[in-house]
């Protein structure tokens, strides 16, 4: 008889525990209410404007405006694209320090068209065309001083523009 009372006690205890567990689960489930979905908003990236100097095997080396959204390809296209000797597996990026001044944009006399050469001081349409004609007849300029071989460009004119011109590498 003692065994029967013990079995009954454990049976009642087990039933009571199951009832308590079920009721606790129902209470917890009834209090659960799915909230609003979480929205994550990322502020749009502000395009930080700047100026980049592009040189090397590029058609029109010089300073170009850019934003953080610009790709390297877009920047190279803005500079007229690359030349046939460009090696795109080796790019160099130089970031100037605070307070570093940029010099004037230099015009590549081996690639510049008439309108760009005319932007140089004392170079009008006639001299600009002579520079291009000289370049076509004699090949690219090897250095900027060779510009004095063009008819109409003397030492005084060269001295005035020498810091504004360059020849491609």
Domain spans in the chain, listed from the N-terminal domain onward:
46-96, 107-166
Note the pLDDT of residue 107: 86
User: What are the phi and psi torsion angles at 76 (to 5°)?
Assistant: -65, -35
Task: Read off the tokens for 57.
Answer: 């095997």
Least confident range from 50-64, 70-84, 110-124, 149-163: namely 50-64
pLDDT at 134 over 90: yes
Lowest mean pLDDT among 36-40, 69-73, 100-104, 146-150: 100-104
Residue 169: pLDDT above 60? no
Q: SS3 of 64, please?
A: strand
Residue 34 predicted with pLDDT over 80: no
Spatial distance between the Cα atoms of 34 and 54, rounded to a whole number of angstroms: 55
pTM above 0.75, yes or no: no
Coil, helix or strand for 51? strand
- Which homologous superfamily is 107-166 in? Photosystem II 12 kDa extrinsic protein (1.10.150.320)
Tell me the per-residue pLDDT of 95-114, one tens digit each, with 9 for 90 and over.
677 776 666 678 889 988 88
Alpha helices in the chain (DSSP H): 2-31, 72-78, 114-117, 125-138, 155-161
Residue of 107, 113, 122, 115 whose CA lies nearest to 158: 122
Element of type H or E holding 166: strand 165-166
């Amino acid at each position: 008889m003692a065994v029967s009372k013990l079995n009954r006690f454990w049976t009642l205890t087990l039933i009571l525990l199951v009832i308590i567990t079920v009721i606790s689960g129902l209470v917890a489930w009834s209090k659960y209410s799915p909230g609003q979905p979480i929205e994550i908003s990322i502020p749009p990236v502000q395009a930080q404007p700047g100026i980049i100097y592009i040189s090397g095997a590029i058609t029109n080396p010089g300073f170009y405006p850019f934003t953080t959204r610009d790709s390297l390809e877009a920047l190279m296209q803005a500079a007229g694209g690359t030349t046939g000797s460009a090696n795109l597996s080796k790019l160099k990026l130089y970031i100037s320090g605070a307070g570093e001044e940029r010099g004037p944009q230099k015009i590549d006399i081996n690639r510049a068209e008439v309108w760009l050469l005319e932007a140089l001081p004392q170079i009008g349409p006639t001299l600009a065309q002579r520079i291009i004609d000289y370049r076509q007849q004699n090949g690219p300029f090897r250095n900027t001083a060779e510009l004095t071989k063009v008819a109409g460009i003397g030492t005084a004119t060269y001295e005035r523009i020498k810091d504004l011109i360059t020849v491609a590498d």
